[in-house]
Chains A and B, each alone.
Chain A
């Protein structure tokens, strides 16, 4: 069905305790008509993969400010792949240096949204790149 809402998991991997940004984004995407699952702080890659799997989400948005993105994010994309979730769009946001973006993209992160990105831009990116359900 084409009119079903897009389902997004917003997750915070790792140990930083700042989730204002993730909550603001969750709220903003809600206002864009998405169904947003929020799982809270300090999630392990395994927890995030399990949530994405059980909720059958279209998109996983990872918010990370701790600097551990080069370790954690590839673990998450690898975990998703291992569970057969390779058609899920994975994006990242938070504090991620430009120099790391190419490596993250190679690891399966479709887009990195830095500070100042508007919610409208995130929503637009998701709508343009989310998998189509028809063949899934």
Chain B
């Protein structure tokens, strides 16, 4: 922040942020929990801590898990955590549930399915309310994942709000996106619709012990591979092509198919690492970086315009748009001029 926060307050926040970051990196759980709160609340302390932690992040595999409410995301994540723990890996989970658009309240219930890991000090589960952010995530999700990454969790699961057909934002913030489907959730037409399934790196048909599970997986497989033979030609001519996700069958509750799913995730991550080590640009991480930058830019611009020096001029612009004296595009350009100190309104 450039204004609004006094110099002593800022240096205090920097000190506290540094302290929390250091203690969280040393493996202390309480400072880590507090740090996540600061980041979630987007406080100057959280910002100061991120300044230290962000350069230390980048080693973790961020796995997004998304799908319809009741498809078994939480149970599947819990099963994957158990599987990863068998290899001795430390695991973090960020579980997002929706906030009420009316009261701002939320019920965060994903831990119910994950309580088997409550006694394990190498598993850290954190719930987050979406707090008005659309797309199945919370605004601070990327930053919170970076915190887990920087303090040494090699595997971070990000479980989205139960999603519908088009909440695809998770694909931009995770390295690998898993879309969870339950059997009998739709026919072949659902499988060829644009949206959620398109962003999957892996599709999991969960509740594999239910009747119709195998058929659902086979249908998805068939539909998701349609047109594969044209991918190479399209790629050569620079046209975008959909991902070609593998479809796996799993029963999260019994653990069937879970080792295979974790192995598939690990293979993808290894391939991604190998490609970036060869100097290939990681497109997903570029998209994530851009989304973060744009999001923060928007926030910063709003904060600057609300500062005492510009507040009155900004209010005049808003009023002019409301009165239809100025179109919103021209008003936005004038606001940018204000920020650059190039002109005054009026």
Contacts and interface: CB of A to CB of B under 8 A. Distances in A.
Contacts of B164: none
B9 to A, nearest CB: 11
B100 interface: yes
B118 A31 contact: no
Nearest to A40: B112
A55 B34 CA distance: 9
Given A30-B103, A47-B115, A37 B108 contact: yes
Nearest to A46: B119
Contacts of B43: 1
Interface stretch (B120-128, B181-189, B296-304): B120-128
B14 to A, nearest CB: 17
Given A1-B43, A37-B108, A54 B126 contact: yes
B127 A37 contact: yes
A53 B127 CA distance: 12
Contacts of B34: 56, 136
Contact of A85 (B30, B41, B103, B106): B30
Interface in A45-74: 46-47, 50-51, 53-56
Interface in B23-80: 29-30, 33-34, 36-37, 41-43
Interface string B294-322: 00000000000000000000000000000
Contact of B109 (A38, A46, A50): A38
Interface residues of B, number: 29
B115 A39 contact: yes
A33 interface: yes
Contacts of B125: 51, 54
A54 B106 contact: no
Interface in B109-148: 109, 111-112, 115, 118-119, 124-127, 129, 131
Interface string A24-43: 00110111111111111001
Contacts of B100: 30-31, 33
A36 B98 CA distance: 11
A17 interface: no
B118 A51 contact: yes
A36 B105 contact: yes
A53 B41 contact: no
Nearest to B34: A56
10 contacts: A1-B42, A26-B107, A30-B103, A36-B106, A36-B107, A40-B112, A47-B115, A50-B118, A54-B29, A136-B34
Interface of B: 29-30, 33-34, 36-37, 41-43, 99-100, 103-109, 111-112, 115, 118-119, 124-127, 129, 131
Given A5-B105, A30-B105, A83-B30, 15 more contacts: A1-B43, A5-B129, A30-B107, A33-B100, A33-B103, A35-B99, A35-B106, A39-B118, A43-B115, A46-B119, A55-B127, A56-B33, A56-B34, A84-B30, A136-B34
